[in-house]
Every structure is written in structure tokens, then in C-alpha cells.
Structure 1
């Protein structure tokens, strides 16, 4: 199958491109290499993919003509987004990169008669402070990120409801692992400990609980969709680990593996941060046969090994 992956040079997108290619699919990546975090890291991911025969088109979903890239596409995984919580990122930026970009991609996708499924990658942030519910619970986002991701998700599903395209949505829970974005918790923590630098910790966040989900378990969920295209259209699925730990415990695990303590420096709490996430994956288990396996201790050891190989050469 010809499969398009947007946000292909990012953390999750680059892993997805590799897994799809290994399964024999014809994969084409799209990324506009925004500078929200290191463009150099994204370009390195793109080069690694290119060496594996996976091309990346440098296209801005908000401005480019996408019809040529989408010609004869079978499935689209839409990961490109303005991610995370940031006090310096404006609402208009979130709206542009999460809503407008999705709209433009949908308009190009509806012209492709070959399209079997538009797979939108959403987030547990749509649930709000407490992400513990099944997929049919009311969404109550508390951040610009969650609000705009929910709006884009509903835009995708509206195209499905009106018969324009087949589509589904996957809501991810706190993904970690090799290539994790540098501003995310574990990447920052590992870097700070290994460099003996101060580790910024948001006030109260060590008590937050999370369904930290290892990247390979996320890939299992993503690839399961392709095996069940006749069952997923119009549906939303939570994709995450059902193992819940506190952020404080996650920090302790990294400290134990590295044999060093983080030099924590407390910063003001983040507005809109989630207090508790626990992935309710009953629906994904039932329909997608989704079964995450990785314990935090094992996943974090693998991430630390990757970090050392990549940055401590």
C-alpha cells in the first residue's frame, strides 16, 4: 500500500515510517521542519529515513498543493501538529498548525478515490485534567493544544460522518522512547543528569500520574489499524499503556538506571497541565487486539541506551 505519514521527521512519525516500510509498504513522509524544537534533529531523522529508502517531502500543509503528493494514496497517518504546552506559543499558531493544516490535508485527501482510511493522531489532552475515561466520555481540554487537537479530530470525523472520506482517530498517552522530543520529560531528565545540569521540574508535577507509553507499543496500535480497516472508520481509540505511575516515580527510575540523582530546580506549575492520565484501552483491546507490553523500567532503559549511543559518542 502507498501510505503517507505527515510529521514524518518527528519522534513518533519517524518510527512509524520505519515500521511501515519494514512491513513492505510504499511510504512517503511529509514534514515542514518547524523550529518548535531542533530542526537539526528532524533533519537527522529525515536523513536516516532516506538511507532506508523513505523519502520526506518538505511541505507545509497550510500552504502547499498536496494533490500531487497524495496521488494514489491508500492510507494517511496524520501526525503533523503543533505539540505540547508552551507559554510562548500563541493560540493562532496552534490553530494554524493543528486545525488549518488538517483541513487542507482533508480537502486534498477527499479527492483521492484510492483512500482507504485517514488516520488522525490525537492526544489524551483532549480529555483535560483527568484523562481516565473511555472514548465516548465528554472531552474537556484545558490547553490551547488540547482544544485545537480536539477541533481537528472532530473536523476529521465530520468528513467521515458526511461520507467524504473513511477516517478514525487515535488518542495517544504520554509517548516516550528513542528520539523523544528534547523538551519532553525523559529527554530533558536524561540529558541533565548525564551533563550534571539543573533539571527544571514544574511545581507539583512529581505527583501527577501518567500512562507513559513506550514507542513500540504505540506502533503496535498504529499498525493494528491497517489490519482492521473495515472496523475502524468513524471510531476513536485510546492508545496508551494501562500501567500508571507518578512522574516522580518515573524520575526515580531514570535515576536508578543511571546511578545518579537529578539536580532538581522547581519552576512554577504549567497552566493547563494534566493531573492524571490512565489510558482506558478496553475498546482498543477489543477491536484492535491492542496489548501494550513494555514496563516503564524496560522502556526507559532502552531510551537511555539510545541517548548514550546518539549523544555520547
Structure 2
């Protein structure tokens, strides 16, 4: 296949470039910073540009006329303003689809969305579950999904993948949790944060699932969840990290949600962006984010990684990069 990867220097996008190239596919990597791609030793042909409307119309012309597939991983997961989510996750997706549709009559467009588009759930949900996002991020991802459904030409194939918590090498998001464990002092949102439950997917299992879907001539607008571990408590996650790092004792301290909201409000006034935002607290407050992946398993996807192997490979990667 000839495949365009947006967000190619990101966590999931970079692993996709690696695996697709390894399998012999022709990869076109959309990068904003070519030097960052070189530092990552990212394989493929670099397409320099971003998801601004004018930039899209310029770099789309550089793509091959016989492009088979677009895997759209680019987006923002944390921002101060809800408009940033709407612009980058929703409007940019609309612009990308519109520009590609001018040039390609046939194409398979895969949107890497998020479980945040569906919202939290106390029991594992499947793809038929009604969506109820609780954050601006989740709303923007759901809006991007809707844009694909409404704007993609009838002659296209289109697939939506909603990963839950993604963990693996190169992941900067879960790095803060590892750092807390290494410090032996773990904080969390709300009194019951240790028992909060999550579905988890190893980045390599996710990449395998995405590529499997890319090769399918599936019906239009198919939606899939992908998990490696259907359910794990936050405490189980911390205990697995601590045993992997050789940390014998970890101290837990809960922080009331109302205090987090005050802190996030104070951080909002600073000229820099920090991960703790008022929008992110809406997600942290939920007691469970659970989903199940029977639908994609029916296509032949078999997860290869459990929680421990996922944590071990992630810790090894962090240590190799001197991030811990």
C-alpha cells in the first residue's frame, strides 16, 4: 500500500511509520519539523506541512496520485481553550477530507479517534453504545468522526478507531505516572482514585489493529475499540510500575476534585500550557473508562501484550532515553 500518516512524529504515528515500512509499504509521513523526524530516524518519505487549511492544499499536491490509504493520527489531547480542540481535531479533519476528496475518487481514510469521544463507562462498552463525551477534547473527537461520516465521498472506505489509554515506548503522557512511582509518592484525583478502572492498549497492539483495518475493504464508517487489557485499576497499574522499577513502597495521596479545579484555574492564567487543565479534570473525575474489543477481534486481531509486558517495555524505553 501507499499510505499517508498524519502526526507521523507523534507517539502512535511514529510507530505506524516503523511497522508499515517494516512490512514493505510505501509510507508518506506528514511532519511539521523534518529535523524531529530525522532525530526519530522516522522511515518513509517526508511531506513537510501542517493541518492549517492553506498548508493542506499545498502538500496534498505532493502525494502520489495512486495513494491507497490515509491514517489520520494528528491532533491535540490537551489544550487551555476548547476552541483549540475544535480547530485542530475537528476543523482540520474536515479540511483534510475536503482537500483529499478533490484529488482522490477512491481512498481508505482511517481516523484515529479516542474513547473520549464516547465518554466514561462503569462497564465495558462496545461500538453500539451511545456517545456521551464529558470533555471538550472528547466532543472534538466525536465531531471529527461525524465530519468523516458526512464529508467522505461514497466511493471511499472509512474507518474510525477509538483507543482507550495507550501505553508503550516513546509515550510522554504516561511518563508522569512513572515519575510519580519513582518518587514513591503518587497522587490522584478524588478519594477513590486507587480503585478507578481503565481499559488499556499497548501501542504495538494498537498499531497492528490499525494496519489490519487499513487492509480491510470494510463497510463505510466502521467503528472499532482496541484493547490489550480490558480492565485494570489505577492501583494495579501503579503496583505493576513500582515492581518493574524496583520501588518497594509507594505512598498514595488523594487530591479532592475541587482543589484540582482551583489549581487548574490558577494554571490557566499562566503564559505556558501545563497538562492539568479544567477540561482534563472532567475526564479525571470519572470513576471508569472501560471498553471491549470483540468486534475487531472478529477480524482476526489478537492482542500480543499484557499489562506487565507493556509496562516493562515502556520502562526500558524511558530509561534508555534518560527520561526516568
Give the corresponding residue for 1:68: 61
Aligned residues: 294
Counterpart check, 1:207 vs 2:199: no
Give the corresponding residue for 2:246: 259
Displacement of 1:173 in angstroms is 1.2
Q: 1:2 to 1:268 in 2, by over 3 A?
A: farther
Q: Which has the larger radius of gyration?
A: 2
How big is the alpha-carbon RMSD for the aligned residues of Structure 1 and Structure 2? 2.4
Runs of 4+ in 1 over 3 A off after TM superposition: 42-46, 60-63, 196-200, 261-269
- After superposition, the C-alpha distances for 1:253-276 in whole angstroms (9 at most, x for unaligned) are 101111214455544432233422
Counterpart check, 1:272 vs 2:259: no
**Is the CA contact 1:172–1:239 (under 8 Å) kept in the aligned structure 2?**
yes
Identify which range, 166-175 or 272-281, moves more after superposition.
Answer: 272-281
Q: 1:201 to 1:177 in 2, by over 3 A?
A: same
Counterpart check, 1:285 vs 2:297: yes
Give the corresponding residue for 1:245: 232
- Provide the TM-score with structure 1 as the length reference: 0.85
Distance 1:263 1:168 in 2: 43
Match of 2:72 among 66, 69, 78: 78
Counterpart check, 1:309 vs 2:309: no
Distance 1:46 1:90 in 2: 31
Distance 2:185 2:312 in 1: 21
Distance 1:60 1:46 in 2: 20
Unaligned runs of 5+ in 2: 258-280
Give the corresponding residue for 1:190: 178
Unaligned runs of 5+ in 1: 34-41
Distance 2:236 2:37 in 1: 30
Distance 1:180 1:45 in 2: 16
Q: 1:135 to 1:309 in 2, by over 3 A?
A: same
Q: 1:278 to 1:272 in 2, by over 3 A?
A: closer
SS in 2 for 1:132: strand
Displacement of 1:206 in angstroms is 2.4
- After superposition, the C-alpha distances for 1:231-254 in whole angstroms (9 at most, x for unaligned) are 243211112224311111101110
**Is the CA contact 1:8–1:14 (under 8 Å) kept in the aligned structure 2?**
yes
Counterpart check, 1:154 vs 2:146: yes
